[in-house]
């Protein structure tokens, strides 16, 4: 999920809709509500990175998560110029041995496989800019590969 911009309600909808999830990843611009969700749901694995509207220096600019021997690069995206394309993001993911890259920032849904890297922007879970409903991404990592899908949250 990404770009919640203060919407605790939307984050809670996502968490409640996915009780079997192994991990939740927030891709930035939601530090206050993420902190609240971590307190409210201490038993879930909730990771997050710093977005351009987050101000805590304690949050990392990116995460590299290893799941089933596959590395996933997670970032907000503004530092990698994602509004201009995914070339820089793909390059950084590849340089770090990642098979996938997740980003936010644009508030627009995006799924693609480019140069062998699976790329996803789940869109904004609270304020999309692409004419679609608020959304989040779902990733299934298996021995056969990385499978990604984007799901509507609704309002």
The reported pLDDT for the residue numbered 20 is: 96
* HSE-CB for 144 with a 13 A CA cutoff: 3
Residues of the chain short of pLDDT 50, as ranges, are none
Q: What is the pLDDT of residue 2?
A: 98
> DSSP code of 133?
P
- pLDDT score, position 154: 72
Note whether 71 and 48 are within 8 A (CB). Answer: no
Residue 6 confidence (pLDDT): 96
Domains observed in the chain: 8-152 (3.60.21.10)
* Cβ atoms < 10 Å from Cβ of 6: 15
Q: Are 133 and 125 in contact (CB under 8 A)?
A: no
| Element containing residue 63 per DSSP (H, E) | strand 62-67
């Amino acid at each position: 999920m990404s770009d919640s911009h203060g919407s605790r309600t939307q984050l809670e909808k996502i968490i409640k809709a996915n009780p079997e999830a192994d991990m939740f990843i927030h891709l930035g611009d939601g530090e206050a509500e993420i902190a609240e969700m971590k307190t409210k749901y201490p038993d879930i694995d909730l990771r997050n990175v710093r977005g351009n509207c987050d101000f805590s220096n304690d949050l990392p600019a990116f995460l590299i998560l290893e799941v089933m021997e596959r590395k996933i690069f997670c970032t907000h995206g503004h530092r990698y110029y994602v509004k201009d394309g995914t070339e820089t993001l793909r390059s950084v993911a590849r340089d770090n041995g990642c098979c996938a890259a997740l980003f936010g920032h644009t508030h627009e849904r995006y799924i693609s496989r480019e140069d062998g890297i699976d790329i996803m922007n789940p869109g904004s879970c609270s304020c999309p800019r692409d004419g679609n409903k608020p959304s989040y991404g779902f990733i299934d990592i298996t021995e056969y590969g990385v499978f990604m899908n984007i799901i509507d949250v609704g309002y």
